[in-house]
A and B are shown apart, each in its own frame.
Chain A
Amino acid sequence: MMVSNLAKTREMRDSKARVPNNMENPMMDDKQLTPESLVGDSLSAPTPGHSAARRRVLMVGAAGVAAAVTVRPAFAQTAASVFNCEIPVPEPVSSGQLIALDGTLVPAGTQGAFPGSTRPFTGEEVRAALQGRSLPGTTAEQGSAYMNYIRRLRAGQSGFTCYASIQVPR
């Protein structure tokens, strides 16, 4: 296994060294530009093969495709995990119960309580909400009930590790 992988590395590294400035533009079919979409595809993009041409080739890209990304501050020590982890509200074992404004779980039918979210929130959404933005797809009261639920998470509950990992201010 190691032999073949090494061979592959050499080959890829050599090909990387050959990549000319006119390497084909990253192909993206999504308007949303992420670091991954920006650079991930560029690796597999074929190198244009017209070495005879003197003039350089420019790909201006398709309409509606973003061509830039700006570096934003990343303060979390576990920056990467923040963007990946998810917090279900409530955790699956409690589905069917409602969430009261103070974040506690209450039986179905309780006045003023909200049904759980149909999808889990990402660490990034919760981190933004901690800074005062609203949770996507929620009303103000519903969002604050959900955030109170998340604040009450304890070790062992789904989402706790994620919540703990985003507890670093930006």
Chain B
Amino acid sequence: MPATQQKWLTASADRLSIVTLDALTAVYDRASGQTHLLAQPLPEILAALQSGPANAAQIAARLTADFDIADSADVPARVSECLGELLAMGLVSMR
């Protein structure tokens, strides 16, 4: 698990083509040529990073400001975990 104070940044918006299908979002990454299907909260995390690099706690704060989180007490921990998944796909990187 990456350190919690680690800052994350996402791919620039023009690198990704994002199509909301239903509960899932299809993302085409022009840099990797890969297609990903993302469930909540991954598209929301990518969107939250558009306003600038942030660590997991800051991302959690941005999400909590925009949404009612319905199912988790420890949002930063879950966000960290999701960032790991996005990192493996190359959709976010660590600074």
Using known A-B contacts A60-B40, A60-B82, determine if residue A55 contacts B24 with beta carbons closer than 8 Å. no
Q: Which residue in B39, B66, B67 is a CB contact (below 8 Å) of A67?
A: B39
- Asked if B36 and A71 make an inter-chain contact with CB atoms under 8 angstroms apart, the answer reads yes
CA distance A53 to B68 in the complex (A): 10
Residues of chain A from 41 to 66 with CB closer than 8 A to chain B in the complex:
42, 45, 48, 53, 55-64, 66
Residues of B within 8 A of A24 (CB): 23
Interface residue? B52 (CB, 8 A): no
Residue of A nearest to B29 (CB): A70
Looking at the assembled complex, report how far the CB atom of B27 sits from the nearest CB atom of chain A, in whole angstroms: 9
Interface residue? A21 (CB, 8 A): yes
Using known A-B contacts A68-B89, A70-B34, determine if residue A58 contacts B63 with beta carbons closer than 8 Å. yes
Interface residue? A26 (CB, 8 A): yes
- Asked if B68 and A23 make an inter-chain contact with CB atoms under 8 angstroms apart, the answer reads no
- Asked if B81 and A63 make an inter-chain contact with CB atoms under 8 angstroms apart, the answer reads yes
Interface residue? A25 (CB, 8 A): yes
Residues of B within 8 A of A42 (CB): 22-24
Residues of chain B from 36 to 95 with CB closer than 8 A to chain A in the complex:
36-42, 44, 63, 66-72, 75, 77-79, 81-82, 85-86, 89
Q: Which residue in B22, B34, B36, B71 is a CB contact (below 8 Å) of A59?
A: B71
- Asked if B70 and A58 make an inter-chain contact with CB atoms under 8 angstroms apart, the answer reads yes
Q: Which residue in A21, A23, A71 is a CB contact (below 8 Å) of B34?
A: A71
- Asked if A67 and B23 make an inter-chain contact with CB atoms under 8 angstroms apart, the answer reads no
- Asked if A55 and B39 make an inter-chain contact with CB atoms under 8 angstroms apart, the answer reads no
Residues of B within 8 A of A55 (CB): 66-68
Residues of A that sit less than 8 Å from B by CB: 16, 19, 21, 23-26, 35, 38-39, 42, 45, 48, 53, 55-64, 66-71
Residues of B that sit less than 8 Å from A by CB: 20, 22-24, 34-42, 44, 63, 66-72, 75, 77-79, 81-82, 85-86, 89
